[in-house]
Structure 1
Amino acid sequence: MLGFNEPEFLAQLASTVALRPQIEELVDRLVEEGFDTLLLVGAGGTYAQMWPYEHWAGRASTLDVRAAIAAELVVSGDARLGGRAVAVFTSVSGTTEDSLRAIEYVKGKGAFTVGFTGYPDSPIAKAVDAALVSEPKAWPFDPQMLLFVGRLLARRGEFEGYERLAGELAGLPGVLLEVARQAEPVAAAFADAHKDTDYHFLIGGGNLWGFTYLYSMCILEEMQWLRTTRVHSAEFFHGSLELLDEDTSVIIFQGEDETRPLTDRAESFARRISKDVTVFDTRDHALDGVSPEFRGLLAPLVLDTVLGRVSKHLERVRDHSLDLRRYYRVMDY
């Protein structure tokens, strides 16, 4: 596979699911001590990656669980924060300045802070009350968040399947390696067909809306300097559809939760207008060892793996490094 380091891929994923004992011990302690607000804080991609877990908790729990943009949280404040709040942060590098300021802010309000990162000596790891460290550069943070939120819901009597889910996550490295292998020819074909495409229209919903936002902004825009529109499948018919024409590249992310019919509806309309509709559907992957009832929860992880292959092939055909930036962490702002 193009630009794919299999040993590193497997080691990084294995290190995330290996955090299960530490995550369970931490969640159990927090539940026993008691808290009534869970804030999921991020910036850019790590903010978007919190949305599936806000979405899951919103459907399953009466606990106040909210995602927050780190920089906005600091300047706008949150009157509900206090000593009975827990705030979770994720950062690949452990150096995200907006998140560091948000950690200081929520700790000043009395909240307990949790950080997931790959660097034990990083500023974020040192700033939070509890740091849970994986292999360096491990991405995405979905395994840790599945374990954290799943254990929390289980302890509250709001998720009966936690033990089975957590057990199945142990096989995640092998499952996602097969996903990557299956996606490779599809990714190469998409990139070859869109070498000169300078605008993409992305649609996703449910627990894939965060990934839709992330792939649009953090990959196509930030890493490839391509123009995009991103829209939630439930909102597609309230404005953004007017941007479609027969040559528009439409990318649809389809998962397996209860919002699937909304994305089906958007896809059906998009195909009536555009001749260039690509659907990345988690149903196309076997996910051996994953129970049917958990497939929807794993959708962000599956598509992150699939689109990771797309990104590498876009880098190839466009001769534009995924590491190249003009402004992000280059200029002061």
Structure 2
Amino acid sequence: MLKFDEELFVKVVEKEGLSFQSQIEEIVDHICHKGYSNIFLIGAGGTIAMMYPYEYILKSQSTIHVHAEIAAEFIVMNHQHLSEDSVCIFTSVSGTTEDTIAAVEYCRKKGATTIALVAEPNTPLTKMVDFCITTGSEKHSFDTFFMLLYMFVFRFMYNNNEFPQYEQFTKEVSLLPQAILSAVKSFDQKAEEFAIKYKDTEYHMMVGSGNLWGNTYSYAMCILEEMQWIHAKSIHAAEFFHGTLELVVEDTSVILLKGEDETRPLVDRVERFAEKITNNLTIIDTKDFTLDGISEEFRKHFAVSINWAVLSRISVYLERERNHPLELRRYYRKVEY
């Protein structure tokens, strides 16, 4: 597969990523023993998008109070639920994202407990938080972060007497890297075909819901807009019929991200509409992938990882077909703003 090192993926995500389970359990158990009032999932850009699935999971599966917040807004809004009893979780690939660092400083001043997942070791963020998991590699960092966040969130739920299936769940988390590998291999040709067909398309609508809303938001913003300079809009399936539907015509590219949680019927509704109007409807459905060893009960949660991994295959082929490196930027981290 183009720009995919399977050996590196297994090393970073499976062998090294899964090794953090006991450390995560120790962190969560310590916090739960001490006591806490709520959880804040805080990020900027792709990392706040990464938090939305876990906010959805906690809101739909747990009584734990959770807030997913954009770092820069969070700092200025005087959030009335943040206190010394709050647990604040951050992720950062580089460990240097300014908005995230500022948010950590803000939380620490309030006395909250801070946790970070960081790819790059010995960076500012790794030294600021109370607890840090440093994965050590930018490669496949989102795949690893997603997996570690499952461990964090479901351990908190388990300790809240809400998830007795935790032991079985973690066994299936250990199968997730191989399930991802299988999915990307089976999707790779479709990813290439998409990139070839749409390399010159100037505008995409991306639609998703539930625990795939974060991926929808992130892919439109971070990949299509930031990394490929393509106009894109992320639309929540529940809101599609409140404005956006009027912009769909026969040549509009509509990309539907279908997961397996309770909100799937919302995306089905968009699909029924879009297939009548546009000739450029793309459906990426996690139900199409065989996830060996993953139970039906947990597929809806792991859809986040599967969906992101297969979307990433589209990215590398868009890069090739458009001759536009994914690392190329005009402004981000290049100019002051």
The equivalent of 1:108 in structure 2 is 109
**Is the aligned partner of 1:220 residue 2:224?**
yes
Query: Which residue of the partner structure matches residue 2 of structure 2?
Result: 2
RMSD across aligned positions (CA): 0.9
The alpha carbon displacement at 1:277 in A equals 0.2
1:21-40 aligned at under 5 Å gives the runs 21-40=22-41
| Distance in 2 between residues matched to 1:10 and 1:223, nearest whole Å | 26
Q: Distance in 2 between matches of 1:3 and 1:119?
A: 21
2:97, 2:201 → 1: CA distance?
A: 32
Deviation at 1:120, TM superposition (A): 2.9
CA distance in structure 1 between the aligned counterparts of 2:261 and 2:81, rounded to whole angstroms: 30
Find runs of 4+ consecutive structure 1 residues off by over 4 angstroms. none
Q: Deviation at 1:54?
A: 0.7
Please show how residues 51-70 of structure 1 align to structure 2 within 5 Å. 51-70=52-71
Task: Give the counterpart of 1:139 among 132, 142, 145.
Answer: 142
- CA–CA separation in structure 2 for the residues paired with 1:49 and 1:70: 13
Taking the aligned partners of 2:231 and 2:119, their CA distance within structure 1 comes to 31
**Corresponding residue number in structure 1 for 2:288:** 284
| CA apart distance, 1:165 | 1.2
Question: How far apart, in 2, do the equivalents of 1:17 and 1:69 lie?
Answer: 28
Alignment of 1:195-206 (within 5 A): 195-206=199-210
Preserved CA contact (<8 Å) 2:38 2:85: yes
- The amino acid that maps onto 2:59 is G
The 2-side partners of 1:11 and 1:330 are apart by 32
Map of 1:12 onto structure 2: 12
Q: Equivalences for 1:85-164 in 2 at 5 Å?
A: 85-137=86-138, 138-140=141-143, 141-164=145-168
Matches of 1:82 and 1:205 in 2, distance apart?
30
SS, match of residue 298 in structure 1: helix
- Rounded Cα–Cα distance in structure 2 between residues aligned with 1:29 and 1:71: 29
| One-letter amino acid matched to 1:304 | W
Distance 1:177 1:12 in 2: 13
TM-score by length of 2: 0.97
Q: Does 1:321 align with 2:322?
A: no
> SS state of the match for residue 296, structure 1?
helix
* Runs of 5+ unmatched residues, structure 2: none
Judge which range, 143-152 or 4-13, deviates more: 4-13
Aligned equivalents of 1:284 and 1:29: distance in 2?
Answer: 40
Deviation at 1:160, TM superposition (A): 2.1
Structure 1 residue identity aligned to 2:135: S
Which digits, 9 at most, give the CA deviation of each residue in 1:118-161, with x for residues without a partner? 22311101010100111311223211111000010011011122
Q: Is residue 185 of structure 2 the alignment partner of residue 181 of structure 1?
A: yes
**Preserved CA contact (<8 Å) 1:40 1:87:** yes
Q: Is the 8 A contact 1:13 1:172 kept in 2?
A: no
Identity %: 46
> Does the 8 Å contact 1:84/1:111 carry over to 2?
yes
Shift of 1:162: 1.4
- Cα deviations by residue, 1:264-289 (Å, 9 ceiling, x for unpaired): 01111011110110000001100111
2:256 pairs with 1:255: no
Cα separation, 2, equivalents of 1:210 and 1:103: 22
